[in-house]
Homo-oligomer: A and B are copies of this chain.
Amino acid sequence: MLTRELAGASVRPLILSILSEGESYGYAILSRIEALSGGVLAWDDGTLYPVLHRMQNKGLLESSWRRADTGRRRKYYALTDKGRRALEREKQQWLQVDAMLAQLWGLQPRLT
């Protein structure tokens, strides 16, 4: 698994990025992350939900309870404009740090 710190640094960008593709809900976001990582990475749901709540409190997300075709209640989250701007900032920051590490590791820099 990931170090606590890297987990912390990546949850938010991952959530924002996933939601930038369209609205989704907690359980699906978890599955998406697991799939993206090739099954390597799986967050505890008790970690994800508080993060979603905090992000909503900060105005990055908005949510609405809806009933899916399956009959289940789901809380769908969608990006707000503020969330979209936050994603852009987080992305720039990630690329900034990544560029530093790439330099130290002798990897070729990323072309943005």
Binding site for B on A (CB under 8 A): 2-3, 5-6, 8-14, 17-18, 20-21, 33, 36-37, 40-41, 90-91, 93-94, 96-98, 100-101, 103-105, 107, 110, 112
With A8-B8, A14-B101, A91-B105: A96-B3 Cβ-Cβ less than 8 Å: no
Task: Determine how many copies of this chain the complex contains.
Answer: 2
Say whether A104 contacts B14, CB under 8 Å.
yes
Chain A interface main SS type? helix
Q: Which residue of B lies closest to A21 (CB)?
A: B104
Q: Which residue of B lies closest to A86 (CB)?
A: B3
B-side contacts of A12, CB under 8 Å: 3, 5
B-side contacts of A11, CB under 8 Å: 5
